[in-house]
Amino acid sequence: MSKAAKRREARREVVGPTKKQIRLSRREAQQRRLILLFTVVVAVLVVGILGFGLLNEQVIKPRQPVAIADGEEISTAAFQARVRFARLNLIAQLRNIYQQAQDPQLQAIFQSYMQGLLNQLNDPTQVGRDVLNQMIDEVLIRHEANRRGITVSAAEVQERLEQQFGFYRHGTPTPTATATATITPTATATPLVTNTPTLTPTPLPSPTGTLTPTATLAPTAVITQTATPFPTFTPFPTPTVVTEEGFKELLAQQLELWRSINFTEADYRKLVEAELYDERLREVFNRDVPTREDHIMGAWMAFETEEGAKAVLDRLSQGEPFDKLAGEVRARTIVSATTGELPWTPVVDLAPRFGDEVQQAVSSTAAGQHTNIIAGSGNLWYIFNITGHEERDLDPQTLRQRQNDHFQQWLDDQRSTKVQFMDYWESRVPQDPAVPLDLVNAIQSAQPALPQEFPTPLPQQTP
């Protein structure tokens, strides 16, 4: 190669890429950087969205309130734990009742009760609503108790907790006749502490339809659950008193069972504390309820037509005894009428059965007299014969009913002014634990009893 050719070759090696090649190279590098940046941004967004979703579900949402009672928030986490705890106990009650229903004499009674429990469990929103109302009541009661100087110590909670599991640190109490049952677990028990059920008045039925003579009728009242939705069922006797070690073993078994629903010992202790606050505040409210009321005793006749009532009133005015005319009603000599006896009854309890006009007329009628014709409930005309009228002590059942009505009225007033529900609370209601399918099938097909594989609930306290 000549010297000139060598110099040209050397110049080509020194010159390098052309301007066009440089532009293309830079453009490609810029595109690679943009692609890399876009990939990083997308990855960050994806991770951020997933991270926020996880943060929202695990941290933010559990801390959000589902309701605010008297300024105190009820968190989603606490609410969901209580709903799961309630569902677990409802399932346990269902299983216990199923076991008892294997007695042919009781099967028909228990079948409708079991179906009611199944319907309740199949309505998660209603279970959630009842639990949330209960939690709200607990807050209102605790706040009011604290305002009145009522407190519950950790030692008192511990003692009640031990008693619920059958351990009495200071000796077994002597049994007494009382309407309050101690919550006591068995080796596989699932304790359930709820607000004390309240006694609500049951309106006495008004005669309706075709009237026929009746036997002596007396006012009645039944215990119904108002603060809590969950039915109470006590199929087994109270277990033998346990030792301290036995108590610890039972508690450990319960904690292991509750771990599956994220219900902790602290959660249960709050339930026990709420129970104690409820009892003590009720004691204070009970002192405000009068123990004596105006009572009447006698008998009544009710007529489908005002003319029929006038005919009997005319005979009473002529001196015929009330008992004689009531006997004719029972014998159907006097038709389109019915009669009944009235044992000692608080005057204020007449209105739900007979109507306000009857209550007002009877309250001003002295013993030994009969009323005029009174237009009462059910489009009926009444005549009352009063054989006793005086102020008397309320019987224990009626007094408890009055006390619970008084307390419930206070709670209702508090709820109307101090409670706020979050719009999203229904979406936070859990639907687990579900009723075991084999239990559902067994109940619906009335198969033989299942093995003891479901938790046993504890009897709830009653007033």
pLDDT tens across the length of the chain (463 residues): 666 666 666 655 555 667 776 777 777 777 777 787 777 777 777 776 766 566 556 557 877 999 999 999 999 999 999 999 999 999 998 888 888 877 777 777 788 888 888 889 999 999 999 999 999 999 999 999 999 999 999 999 999 999 999 999 887 776 554 444 333 333 333 344 433 333 333 333 333 333 333 333 333 333 233 333 433 333 334 456 789 999 999 999 999 999 989 999 999 999 999 999 999 999 999 999 999 999 999 999 999 999 999 999 999 999 999 999 999 999 999 989 999 999 999 999 999 999 999 999 999 999 999 999 999 998 999 999 999 999 999 999 999 999 999 999 999 999 999 999 999 999 999 999 998 888 888 877 754 444 444 444 443 433 3
Pairwise CA distance, residues 69 & 62, whole Å = 17
The helix or strand, by DSSP H or E, that contains position 261, with its residue range, turns out to be none
Pairwise CA distance, residues 153 & 318, whole Å = 71
Helix 244-259 and helix 265-286, axial crossing angle in degrees, nearest 10:
110
The answer to whether residues 74 and 65 touch, using CB atoms and an 8 Å cutoff, is yes
Q: What are phi and psi of 257, to 5 degrees?
A: -65, -45
User: What is the per-residue pLDDT for 54?
Assistant: 63
The total number of residues shown for the chain amounts to 463
Angle CA(43)–CA(44)–CA(48) in degrees, nearest 5?
Answer: 120
User: What is the per-residue pLDDT for 346?
Assistant: 97
User: What is the per-residue pLDDT for 34?
Assistant: 79
Q: Which residues pair with 65 in a beta bridge?
A: 75
Angle CA(98)–CA(101)–CA(106) in degrees, nearest 5?
Answer: 155
What is the torsional sign of CA 272, 278, 284, 286? negative
Contacts of 275 (CB under 8 A, 6+ apart): 160, 193, 195, 196, 461
